[in-house]
Amino acid sequence: MDSAPPPQKTSEQPPPILVALDAVSRQNPYPTYRSIQESGAFVRSEVRGWVTTIITGHADCSAVFQSPDLGSGYSAGLHAGAHRSTGSDDSGLKSLLRKDPPEHTRLRGLVNRAFTPGVVATLTAEITSVVDTLLDAALAAGEVDMIEAFARPLPLSVICRLLGVPAEDEPVFSEWVVPLVRGLAPDMTLTPEDLRARAESTHSIQDYFRGLIAEVRAKPREDLLSQLVAAGQDSDVLPEQELLDLCILLLLAGFETTVNLIGSGIVALLRNPDQLARLRAEPELVPAAIEEMLRYDPTFPFLIRTVLRDTELNGHPFSRGDSVVMLIGAANRDPDVYREPDHFDVARYAQTTSAPRHFGLGLGIHYCLGAPLARAEGAIALRALLARTEKITLLDEPSYRPSAWVRAMSRLPLRLSA
């Protein structure tokens, strides 16, 4: 099967993929995403030897998510050219994110139990306790960086407890996680320092969990790590390296999505005071508001897939080994699918409506592992924040960590008035 024509290069404009990547850490990247979307449903682009097709529409992204003909490609040696340029394999993400069936199916089955709605329901009291403790301190301070004081420590504390990490070790995990999150970007977009920091954090976390795993083997406990260690007693089921990789994945799955859900959600409410007022008046809309936050400003504006075998998507041909980038930031605001796509509406996903599904947590076999936990943490945090504050004031524009792949809010200065 012939691939689409090679991308056209012009000296006047940077390649579309670079334009999209450069927009990630802006206050508002969505006009840029819309511009790319308006240029076509399938946009061919090349940067630094990486040739890819940007997929911009909701229907086409949905098809990619659910197609067995596209995946990570790592097992088959076909992974996207974005990760080829450095030769680095120290991301700590060699487990689920870089597996395709049947390996993916085996590993996903082992860890799915950690984040089922039933398991998450048992964590409600613990999440509420962490939320209340953090809000007590934030309200006492009055003016805070809400990322540092609330959005980051909340999910980190919960996932560390779930994995059996002692509370006194949580601060060092906070330091380790940041380079890993930045390292989620394609290798070709990372600096040598980024790659070094990612590798060092990966090795530090793995060394830590090796010690913790040894403790659990000697004395099993009632936590997720003990369950995984028990599953791995047969090395054919879960070898130690896979167990270490899963620990890193679980740490990220239970962390970054919630941090940015809380941060971007607060900003969206403050920039749309009518929606904030409605949510205060109708707190039963909180679950719907969480879904709208995930649609409106997703943590991951892009996701890469590799074509595993010759295929077509809505009549568009792809060859084995081709790279595609789903532009989630555009698909989640596709005007052909969503009513007033750029409008933030806390009732869009209310039970009485039938809004199209968003891709803020992905779709298909790689659907976000920590989705139930992120939703629960976001809802509990939002309810508490609305109930315990009379006024929330944005003191300055939020800041975002430099990243070509993740909408990672790094600072959110607020004044909280009880």
pTM: 0.88
Task: Give the residue, 299 or 75, on which the prediction is more confident.
Answer: 299
Residue 229 domain flag: yes
Asked if the model's pLDDT at residue 94 lies above 60, the reply is no
Would you state the pLDDT for residue 280? 97
Strand order in the sheet with 391-394: 143-145, 413-417, 391-394
Residue 7 domain flag: no
Residue 4 domain flag: no
Asked if the model's pLDDT at residue 11 lies above 60, the reply is no
Asked if the model's pLDDT at residue 343 lies above 90, the reply is yes
- CA dist 103 and 95 (Å) reads 9
Asked if the model's pLDDT at residue 111 lies above 80, the reply is no
Residue 347 domain flag: yes
Instruction: Report the number of distinct structural domains present in the chain.
Output: 1
Q: Which structural domain, as residue segments, surrounds residue 234? A: 16-417
Would you state the pLDDT for residue 345? 97
Residue 97 CA neighbour count, 13 Å, CB half: 19
pLDDT tens digits, residue range 159-211? Answer: 998 888 998 999 898 889 888 887 777 777 788 898 899 899 999 999 999 99
Residue 8 domain flag: no
Contact (CB, 8 A) for 367 and 360: no
What does the DSSP assignment read for 52-121? EEEE-SHHHHHHHHH-TTEE--TTTT---GGGTSS----SS--SGGG--TTHHHHHHHHHGGGG-HHHHH
> Where residue 232 falls among pLDDT bands split at 50, 70, 90?
low
Would you state the pLDDT for residue 81? 52
What does the DSSP assignment read for 120-156? HHHTHHHHHHHHHHHHHHHHHHSEEEHIIIIITHHHH
Residue 279 domain flag: yes
Whole-number Cα distances in Å, 179 to 21, 85, 226: 18, 19, 27
> Where residue 409 falls among pLDDT bands split at 50, 70, 90?
very high
Would you state the pLDDT for residue 2? 44
pLDDT tens digits, residue range 125-161? Answer: 999 999 999 999 999 999 999 999 999 999 999 999 8
Tokens encoding 276: 């904030």
> Where residue 251 falls among pLDDT bands split at 50, 70, 90?
confident
* Mean pLDDT of the 388-394 span: 97
* Mean pLDDT of the 82-109 span: 58
Would you state the pLDDT for residue 67? 94
DSSP-derived 3-state class of residue 389: coil
* Mean pLDDT of the 377-384 span: 98
Residue 10 domain flag: no
Would you state the pLDDT for residue 104? 66
Asked if the model's pLDDT at residue 80 lies above 60, the reply is no
Would you state the pLDDT for residue 85? 42
Would you state the pLDDT for residue 358? 97
Task: Give the residue, 231 or 302, on which the prediction is more confident.
Answer: 302
Residue 221 domain flag: yes
Contact (CB, 8 A) for 178 and 150: no
Domain of residue 395, CATH code: 1.10.630.10
